[in-house]
Structure 1
Amino acid sequence: MLAFSFSLYYFYLFPLSLVVFYTLRSINNKLALPFLALLSSVFLFLVDWESFLLLTALVLMNFIFVQSDNRSKLLQTLFISLNLLPLMLFKTGIVALDSQSSFSVGFNVLLPFGLAFYTLQQISAIIDTNKPDVKKMSLWQYIFFSFCFITLPSGPILTYRQAINEYKQFNHRKIRYNEIALGISLIIFGLAKFCFIALPINQYTELFFLSLEQKLFTLTFTESLYVMIGSILKLYFSFSAYSDMAIGMGFCFGLKLPVNFDSPLKASSPGSYMNSWHMSFMAFIRMYVFLPLFLLTKNVPIKSVQTRYTTAWAIAVFFSFFLTAVWHSPSDSMIIQGVVVALLLVSIELLKKTSATEPRQFITRFSQALSRLITLVCVFITGLFFFVPSSGVAIQILINIVAPEKISVTSLLCPFIEEFHLSLFDCSSFFPSLDSAQQASAFLGPSWAILHMAFVVFIVFFMPNSMHIFNVSRSVHLSLFNITWKRTLFFAFIMALIFVFSVSMLSNVQGFVYG
């Protein structure tokens, strides 16, 4: 139902709503935003009416609160807690909705549609409106801010302060055809990323997870490595694809949404990775969690100023990572893993701070290389635990990688392997644990799947990201190639071809909701 709703909107309602939107803008600019607010409400109701009722009640409660001028810290804390309560109840499984009306594809927990992103935006509204320099929204603005059909499914997160600045310019912003062309191109590019990169990887990882649940067998080294790498890559390309589409839709409606990704797998440290992955969420954590905690803990009674500030930094970073794990995690075990990862990442960052003061260049380079390696290992292992049916399966997959019993390869490589008499290799297929029927149901055969994975890894580490390609933002990470989109007939033709091929794969598309 979710995938159907997205397809229905993107390919039928979106062009129609765009025509209505610009018709209203030509008549009266002030009619455009109420139309978007109404459209967002209808979209949420059609996708998940139970979520709509829950969020509507919270929106009305919050709107009344943020409009009031005199608010105590205690009352502000109470309202923040009330907005967090539904998310906590659904995350812990104390409350659950009918699986046919709730969607959280990619996680093992059912959440009301958009609740995770909605909650963070409402918290930003409660905090920001308590500051004298922030203006109040009208009811229509607040409804669109809360129910925005562009960002509610998978982000990016638009804080109250960012939104009010956007709305202030919204009624006076002229129609820019270059931004509309850019937006449509981003939507097509995001759809292609999901269909041609995330979907083929997801098909095989899901087949492996299903087989592991139904059968008792050990995956080969090749299969285990594919599952571990594929788990994080399908999440990255699914999430970044929807972020591209959301930012593109924002451009089409005259809204500038924050960038969400900057090639995170190119990062050389945990801090760089976290600041490049889900950037709007990390900006929220930095503003509303890290900074207040750092300012609070830097006053701890420690004589040495450097030690005091380093301690405050470590505490703030740990709790920022911990709360990030809690927000993303569907179970208690994942939260425990989040604590372990948070401790590890803080230790790595402290190691980098120490090595930065070390005069010997060799040690500095070694620590940077070690930091990058540990960061990638942590990312891929965390992604594995995020998607596998159970922790036991994840541990078994890791054992298969570290101490493999078999390395599976295609039969085409058998002559080369047999020449060296290597009994460790299985020459039947890259994926011998899957039967022929399962392999036939996948979009790509095993050999093509391995080549596809190698190509995707090349894209991740050596190609520029979509925000860089479309000149939305510049990347802090280097790329081997430089590709730049332009509003020309050549790029229009390329985008048209990509769109046609992407639509042809829509029958295989699954819904994706992050958080």
Structure 2
Amino acid sequence: MLAYPFLIIFVLPFLAALYAFIQRRSENVAVVFLLVFSLVFIGYVSLQALVLVISISTVSWGMMYGLSTGRCDKFFLFFLAITLSPLIIYKYLLVSDSEQGFLLTIGIPTGLAFYSIHLATGLFESYKNRSRPLSLLRHLLATTFFPNFIAGPILSYKGAVLKFKSLPNQSWYYIAQGLTLLALGLLKVLAIAAPLGAINDTLYAAVAAGLDQASFSESIFLSWGVLVQLYFDFSGYSDIAIGIALCFGITLPMNFNSPFKAKNVSDYINRWHISLLNILKVYVFSTTAKWLSQRLPRRIEGRQRASLIYAISVFAVFLLAGLWHAPNITFIYSAIAVALFIMGMQFVSGKKPGQALGMRRGAIGQITLLATASLIAAYFKAGSIGIGTHFLTGLVNFQSFFDLFALSQPLIFSSISLRTFMIDTGMTPFAAMLLLGVASLISLFMPNSMEITGYSELEPRKLKIMKMNRQRAAAVAFVFLWVIFYSQHYGKFFYEQF
């Protein structure tokens, strides 16, 4: 989405104002306006993607309509396979290089994963609840709406019906609020996530190429640095998508809610990728649990039966989440590790399935939770078992334990020369540590952008809308001007791999 900052900054306010003018005169024309711009956006990124998206969206509309009548129930699995086939073919079968950047090697955008799961939820709704799809024009808009097409949040088809069946009234204040969220998202991604990504990539490459295991300080920096990078990358992308959609009066679901402030395991997981997790709960967890409850032997009963159903359903959810991100073995292992951690906590705590899973109260419990999450995130980022293991062994390299407290670069990052580090990252090791420290404090103690703006998908009128006074306008303009000059320095973002 950030590959075209000039387009976002200069064209978006004009389009939002034009849309508000059009919508007040004709809702149907406003639908066509949003659809045309969404298709132009997708086509500008990739013409192959445009042809694929229009074809699959049109075919899916016919399949949803057939399922809603009850006449095509026996073809449900076949329809589902057709809908998911582009994702399986282009993302898993034809692409083996995970370092694919903004476009896959054949020109299909990374948003294919979000798009495919969105259509799959529509098939489920038509099959289970006999829900009719939107009209073809609004169906095409709901499935290609450009703010969340590339980077989410993932809008279920049921949610899309509520958004696009009747377009909400646009407000000039929504444009101001949307631009504010867009500015916050750009700051997160470009000022924090991108520099941290450059540091992490540089250190990963140096550690992977080294003959010795990583130093203790390198392993600590990378494990926490990757988690903080993912935090700001993911949070920033969510803010950008929600902010752009809000400029057109569309409220997307909140996708991220300060997971580092979570007090227990369940709360932590529920604060990450909220839209994806909600969809997996509704369409995978519930379906798996219902299927198991009907097929498990009757001799397994009571709490043992409930615990077994819960454990298998949780495992299915996180296994699919790992596969959904990419066919990378470390993604799958990381997802399995999360599932096993949840099941282990459930067993140790002795709580009923589904209850909040807590750790020790206070700072010790939160540190333990975040340390576990950072280890999983670092392995998630590694890309291969060998690199992940090579990196994790640094955590038991006690010979270099005191490197963490040294301020000289050769001791802190011993796997890479000072000159190479500064050329590749554009900063000194001390500056890198300072950036990570500031980002950590922001993520742990500052209110997030949803709290700052009072954003609520269900009650958009309760936004803490402030008039675009001089101070606020100057701040937003400064961010946009900074992006114009800085955008040439950014590279591939962590979240764009998915």
Alignment TM-score, normalising by the size of structure 2 = 0.86
Mapping 1:338-417, distance limit 5 Å: 338-354=335-351, 366=360, 372=366, 375-406=369-400, 407-408=402-403
Match of 2:460 in 1: none
Match of 1:478 in 2: none
- Post-superposition shift, 1:245? 0.7
Stretches of structure 1 lacking an aligned partner (at least 5 in a row): 357-362, 414-425, 475-483
Note if 1:439 corresponds to 2:421: yes
Contact 1:408 1:432 in 2 (8 A): no
Q: Are the structure 2 counterparts of residues 276 and 61 from structure 1 closer, same or farther at C-alpha, using a change threshold of 3 Å?
A: same
Name the SS of the counterpart of 2:256 in structure 1.
Answer: coil
CA distance in 2, matches of 1:398, 1:514: 23
Q: Are the structure 2 counterparts of residues 110 and 120 from structure 1 closer, same or farther at C-alpha, using a change threshold of 3 Å?
A: same
Residue deviations 1:270-313, cap 9 Å, x none? 32222110000011001101112222323431464333222222
CA distance in 2, matches of 1:18, 1:332: 42
Residue deviations 1:117-157, cap 9 Å, x none? 01110011111123557343112211112222111111001
Match of 1:219 in 2: 214
Residue 227 of structure 2: which of 221, 229, 232 is its match? 232
Q: Are the structure 2 counterparts of residues 372 and 323 from structure 1 closer, same or farther at C-alpha, using a change threshold of 3 Å?
A: farther
- Post-superposition shift, 1:348? 1.2
Structure 1 letter corresponding to 2:351: T
Cα root mean square deviation, aligned: 3.2
CA distance in 1, matches of 2:142, 2:51: 16
CA distance in 1, matches of 2:244, 2:2: 17
Q: Are the structure 2 counterparts of residues 265 and 194 from structure 1 closer, same or farther at C-alpha, using a change threshold of 3 Å?
A: same
Residue deviations 1:383-432, cap 9 Å, x none? 21222253222222222123233243687x5xxxxxxxxxxxx6746334
Match of 2:196 in 1: 201
Match of 2:121 in 1: 124
Contact 2:174 2:246 in 1 (8 A): yes
Contact 1:96 1:111 in 2 (8 A): no
Structure 2 letter corresponding to 1:67: Y
Match of 1:15 in 2: 13
Mapping 1:138-157, distance limit 5 Å: 138-157=135-154
- Post-superposition shift, 1:443? 3.7
- Post-superposition shift, 1:37? 1.0
Q: Are the structure 2 counterparts of residues 396 and 81 from structure 1 closer, same or farther at C-alpha, using a change threshold of 3 Å?
A: same
Moved more, 401-410 or 230-239: 401-410
Structure 1 letter corresponding to 2:95: A
Match of 1:360 in 2: none
Match of 1:136 in 2: 133
Q: Are the structure 2 counterparts of residues 292 and 427 from structure 1 closer, same or farther at C-alpha, using a change threshold of 3 Å?
A: closer
Contact 2:48 2:108 in 1 (8 A): no
Residue 470 of structure 1: which of 447, 453, 470 is its match? 453
Match of 2:276 in 1: 281
Structure 2 letter corresponding to 1:254: G
Residue deviations 1:162-198, cap 9 Å, x none? 111112331xx33322222111100000000111111
Note if 1:297 corresponds to 2:292: yes
Match of 2:88 in 1: 88
- Post-superposition shift, 1:456? 1.2
CA distance in 1, matches of 2:307, 2:330: 29
Stretches of structure 2 lacking an aligned partner (at least 5 in a row): 458-463
- Post-superposition shift, 1:113? 3.3
From the two aligned structures, give the one with the greater helix fraction. 2
Match of 2:461 in 1: none
Contact 1:385 1:394 in 2 (8 A): yes
Q: Are the structure 2 counterparts of residues 239 and 71 from structure 1 closer, same or farther at C-alpha, using a change threshold of 3 Å?
A: farther
- Post-superposition shift, 1:33? 1.2
Name the SS of the counterpart of 2:146 in structure 1.
Answer: coil
Structure 1 letter corresponding to 2:81: S
Q: Are the structure 2 counterparts of residues 16 and 7 from structure 1 closer, same or farther at C-alpha, using a change threshold of 3 Å?
A: same
CA distance in 1, matches of 2:304, 2:333: 28
Contact 1:439 1:445 in 2 (8 A): yes
Contact 1:84 1:119 in 2 (8 A): yes
Q: Are the structure 2 counterparts of residues 104 and 402 from structure 1 closer, same or farther at C-alpha, using a change threshold of 3 Å?
A: farther
Name the SS of the counterpart of 2:249 in structure 1.
Answer: coil
Mapping 1:413-492, distance limit 5 Å: 428=410, 430-441=412-423, 442-473=425-456, 486-487=466-467, 489=469, 490-492=471-473
Match of 1:71 in 2: 71
- Post-superposition shift, 1:472? 0.9
CA distance in 2, matches of 1:132, 1:394: 44
CA distance in 1, matches of 2:380, 2:347: 26
Contact 1:485 1:491 in 2 (8 A): no
CA distance in 1, matches of 2:27, 2:91: 41
Match of 1:309 in 2: 306
Name the SS of the counterpart of 2:398 in structure 1.
Answer: coil
CA distance in 2, matches of 1:510, 1:180: 28
Match of 1:496 in 2: 477
- Post-superposition shift, 1:446? 1.2
Q: Are the structure 2 counterparts of residues 427 and 39 from structure 1 closer, same or farther at C-alpha, using a change threshold of 3 Å?
A: closer
Name the SS of the counterpart of 2:148 in structure 1.
Answer: coil
Note if 1:187 corresponds to 2:188: no
Moved more, 325-334 or 314-323: 325-334
CA distance in 1, matches of 2:492, 2:361: 40
Match of 1:59 in 2: 57
Identity, in percent, stands at 25
Name the SS of the counterpart of 1:134 in structure 2.
Answer: coil
Residue deviations 1:451-489, cap 9 Å, x none? 111111111222221111110149xxxxxxxxx884453
Match of 1:481 in 2: none
Structure 2 letter corresponding to 1:348: M
Alignment coverage as a number of residue pairs? 480
Contact 1:267 1:273 in 2 (8 A): yes
Alignment TM-score, normalising by the size of structure 1 = 0.84
Contact 2:83 2:119 in 1 (8 A): yes
CA distance in 2, matches of 1:288, 1:440: 47
